[in-house]
């Protein structure tokens, strides 16, 4: 069944409240996905300071790993390390490519579940309410976040199988539904050199979108291609370094609702996840139409 929530803040005065608002949204979706939960936060400068890149890792890092990553980086810079259950976020004043490479050399057994210059990703198994506490979500700040509560149907209940899937720089994807032809597209992506971390069908969608973005297409075009290539039923929320986008399949059987005000844009699987947002009584509320891509950026909204 699964639950999706996402919040894009237009008003900087709300940035300190991102975590509190996102936690409330996520916990409202707990009964849609009691197996596990994951979140992504954009713009929390305590977890990813300005001028730093960050890598989110499974399993949780040890002090030895942090020391090894620091030693593997040119100049041995100081790291910012935050641990939350199964997830550890390591930030350093280097490029994301340098940090990912250093982690790969020093911790080949760890799984990178997110990376970029503005992004922290957390995943774990258990009830979403307990995991929100583990992630210290209420104290998160920033301009954008998304979350997912999972009821597993296509793969094992493990931290690696949780959403969001973040396989490109500052990119995340969460999914409610099932891709019927994911095995075929997985093989195509593997033939092109992509390496997968799980058997989850959602990772196939995430790597497909990341591949299209890497080839220079924008987020809206990438999601239009998802509608062309992927069979099945789905609601997707995809976030990037400058905004987020929502799309549903041609049947649109998976629930979704969007709310917009001058201060924020939000999306959730059900209205109850939006009910406590500030100014919700004045929001424009609507259900996204089948196969129409709704995309927002920090500058405005795409047509």
- Return the active site residues: 2
For residue 37, what are the contacts with CB-CB under 8 A and spacing of at least 6? 26, 30, 123, 124, 126, 127, 128, 131, 132, 147, 148, 149, 150, 162
* Distance of alpha carbon 186 from the chain centroid: 20
Max alpha carbon distance in the chain (Å)?
54
**Sheet containing 53-58: order of strands:** 80-84, 87-92, 53-58, 111-116
> CA–CA separation, 175 vs 150, rounded Å?
9
Q: How many CA atoms lie within 13 A of 192 on its CB side?
A: 15
> CA–CA separation, 49 vs 54, rounded Å?
9
Answer yes or no: are the C-beta atoms of 85 and 134 closer than 8 Å: yes
């Amino acid at each position: 069944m699964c639950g999706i929530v996402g919040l894009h803040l237009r008003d900087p005065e709300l940035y300190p409240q991102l975590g509190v608002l996102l936690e409330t949204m996520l916990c409202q979706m707990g009964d849609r996905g009691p197996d596990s939960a994951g979140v992504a936060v954009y713009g929390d400068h305590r977890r990813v300071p300005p001028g730093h890149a960050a890598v989110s890792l499974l399993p949780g890092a040890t002090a030895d790993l942090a020391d090894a990553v620091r030693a593997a980086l040119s100049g041995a810079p100081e790291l910012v390390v935050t641990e939350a259950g199964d997830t550890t976020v390591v930030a350093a004043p280097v490029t994301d490519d340098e940090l990912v490479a250093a982690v790969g050399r020093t911790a080949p057994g760890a799984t990178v579940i997110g990376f970029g210059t503005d992004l922290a990703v957390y995943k774990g198994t258990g009830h979403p309410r307990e995991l929100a506490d583990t992630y210290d979500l209420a104290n998160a700040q920033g301009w954008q976040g998304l979350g997912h509560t999972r009821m597993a149907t296509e793969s094992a209940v493990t931290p690696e199988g949780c959403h969001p899937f973040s396989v490109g720089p500052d990119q995340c994807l969460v999914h409610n539904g099932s891709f019927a032809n994911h095995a075929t597209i997985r093989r195509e992506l593997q033939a092109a050199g992509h390496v997968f971390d799980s058997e989850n069908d959602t990772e196939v969608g995430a790597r497909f979108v990341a591949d299209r973005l890497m080839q220079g297409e924008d987020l809206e075009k990438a999601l239009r291609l998802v509608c062309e290539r992927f069979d099945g039923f789905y609601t997707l929320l995809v976030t990037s370094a400058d905004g987020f986008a929502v799309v549903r399949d041609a049947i649109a059987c998976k629930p979704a609702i969007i709310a917009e005000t001058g201060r924020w844009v939000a999306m959730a699987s059900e209205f109850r996840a939006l009910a406590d947002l500030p100014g919700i009584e004045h929001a424009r509320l609507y259900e996204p139409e089948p196969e129409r891509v709704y995309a927002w950026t920090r500058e405005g909204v795409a047509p």
